[in-house]
Amino acid sequence: MSRVGKHPVEIVDGVSVEIKDNQLIAKGKVGEVAVKLSDLVDVKIEGKEITVSPKDTNNAQSCVMWGTIRALINNAIIGVSTGFTKELEFKGVGYKVALKGTKLDMVIGFSHNVEYDIPAGVKAEVVSPTELKLTSANKELLGLVASEIRSFRVPEPYKGKGIRYKDEYVRRKEGKKK
């Protein structure tokens, strides 16, 4: 039995929710997010709450999807009301990032600059030449974009150079001894 799925999701003021074509669509001041619903669970909107329940409690997959769908709906509600942010740091000599329209231009130690197209639904802001702030209403898309940017130059353990999340701890190694 799901501990997460038992709790109803509260609909915050300023957010409208509707179910259409096996999708839950949440709209708010930050944006719009659609959550694909599973056939194994029932989703009901009752006043200011959304309840999720499994169709068959004897089916293990139904109980698994119960908590998952509830968490996805909760993330959609939070995303359209307040939004999500991820911050990246560029550490290294000469490492920097610049925003050119909808493209990120990154200087990260290669012989050429790396360009990355920012998808629709994600907003990028260059706080300083070595800091990047990404915001979005869709938590899944935001995490995917942040991990793709980080994958261009993952932090290495000897000098700590690379692209890292703002709160990430990189374990450092000692290096060669003479």
Question: Which fold is adopted by the domain 9-81?
Answer: Outer Surface Protein A; domain 3 (3.90.930)
Handedness of CA 136, 17, 42, 40 (dihedral sign): negative
CA–CA separation, 130 and 89 (whole Å):
6
1 pLDDT exceeds 70? no
pLDDT digits (tens, 9 = 90+) for 86-95: 999 999 999 9
Handedness of CA 77, 78, 83, 88 (dihedral sign): negative
Extended strands (E) in 23-172: 23-27, 32-36, 41-46, 49-54, 84-91, 96-100, 103-107, 114-117, 122-128, 131-136, 162-165
pLDDT digits (tens, 9 = 90+) for 80-119: 999 999 999 999 999 999 999 999 999 999 999 999 999 9
Cβ–Cβ < 8 Å for 25, 32: yes
Degrees to nearest 5, angle at CA 81 with 79 and 85: 45
Within 10 Å of residue 128's Cβ, how many Cβ atoms? Answer: 11
pLDDT at 23: 92
Options 3.90.930.12, 3.40.50.1220, 3.40.50.720, 3.40.50.300; CATH for 84-165 is 3.90.930.12
CA–CA separation, 112 and 106 (whole Å):
9
Report percent pLDDT > 70 for the chain. Answer: 99
Cβ–Cβ < 8 Å for 73, 34: no
Domain map (residue ranges) of the chain: 9-81, 84-165
CA distances from 115 to 46, 86, 163 (A): 46, 19, 14
21 pLDDT exceeds 80? yes
